[in-house]
Amino acid sequence: MNESLTVQVEGLSHWFGIGAMRRQVLQSISMQIAPGEVVLLTGPSGCGKTTLLTLIGALRKVQQGDVCVFGHQLHGSHRGQRQQLRRHIGMIFQGHNLLRCLTAEQNVQMGADLLPELSYRARRDQARYWLRAVGLDDHLSKLPHDLSGGQKQRVAIARALAARPQLLLADEPTAALDSVTGREVVDLLQGLAREQACAVLMVTHDPRIVDVADRLVQMEDGCLLPTLG
C-alpha cells in the first residue's frame, strides 16, 4: 500500500441483502486519489457510486477487498476506528443535512468542534472564517430554515471544511440547486479544496460541472470504466 496516496482502493467488492436477495453492487473496483486531486465520479443511477462513496468515507464495513484512506486499512476496522477516521473526512450531502435547531454559525462550529486542540473562541473564529469564505458573513445567526437552498449548501461546505479534512466526499452537491447556484457552489468547493490541498471525490450527474475535475471516473453496473482523460 502506498502511504502517500489519500485513497487507495484495491479489488473492492460489495453486496447488499442476504440469501437469495443478495446482490452484488460493486465488482472488484480499484482506484486511487492523490492528495489535492479533484476526482469526479459519474454514472447512471443505481450503479453503486454512492456505495463506493460510503465505503471510502468509512461509513460502511468493507466486505471484500482493500480500502486505504490516509494509509489506514478499512477492511476489518472497528466501528471506533472508522469513527475516528471520519473526523478527517469532510462530507457534503445531497440534502444539506444541517441541524435545524442551530444557526449557520453554530452548524459550522459543529464541524470546528471536532478539532480537539482549539479553544472555544478559536473554534468560533474558525466557523466565522469559513462562513466568510463561502460568502455568508451576513447570515451568521440565521437558522437553516431562513436560508435559501444554495446558502444552505454553502453552509454545509463551510461545515465540512471547518474540520480541516484531508479528503472531501460530496454526493451530488448540486442536485437540489439551479444551474447558476450549482456552478457557484462547485467552483467554491474546488477553490477552497485546492487552497487546503484537500482531495475531493465528488459524485455527480451534472454534465455542466465536469470541467472542475482533474480526473473523471465513470462507473457502470458496479464496475469502473477505463479512464477517459
Residues that bind another protein (CB under 8 A): 50, 53-54, 57, 59-60, 80, 83-89, 91, 93-95, 97-102, 106, 109-111, 113-114, 116, 118-121, 143, 159, 163, 171
Answer yes or no: are the C-beta atoms of 39 and 32 closer than 8 Å: no
- In this complex, which beta carbon is closest to another protein, that of residue 68 or of residue 127? 127
Q: How far apart are CA 69 and CA 138, in angstroms?
A: 36
- In this complex, which beta carbon is closest to another protein, that of residue 124 or of residue 194? 124
- In this complex, which beta carbon is closest to another protein, that of residue 37 or of residue 172? 172
List the grid coordinates of 160: 465540512
Q: How far is the CB of 171 from another protein (least distance, A)?
A: 5
Answer yes or no: are the C-beta atoms of 62 and 29 closer than 8 Å: no
Question: What is the dihedral angle through the alpha carbons of 162, 53, 205, 158, rounded to the nearest 10 degrees?
Answer: 0
List the grid coordinates of 9: 482502493
Q: Which amino acid makes up residue 39? A: V
Q: Which amino acid makes up residue 11? A: G
Q: How far is the CB of 80 from another protein (least distance, A)?
A: 8
Q: How far is the CB of 8 from another protein (least distance, A)?
A: 21
- In this complex, which beta carbon is closest to another protein, that of residue 2 or of residue 177? 177
Residue 87 has φ and ψ, to the nearest 5°, of -65, -20
- In this complex, which beta carbon is closest to another protein, that of residue 2 or of residue 121? 121
Q: How far is the CB of 161 from another protein (least distance, A)?
A: 12
Q: How far apart are CA 133 and CA 159, in angstroms?
A: 11
Q: Which amino acid makes up residue 17? A: G
Q: How far is the CB of 123 from another protein (least distance, A)?
A: 9
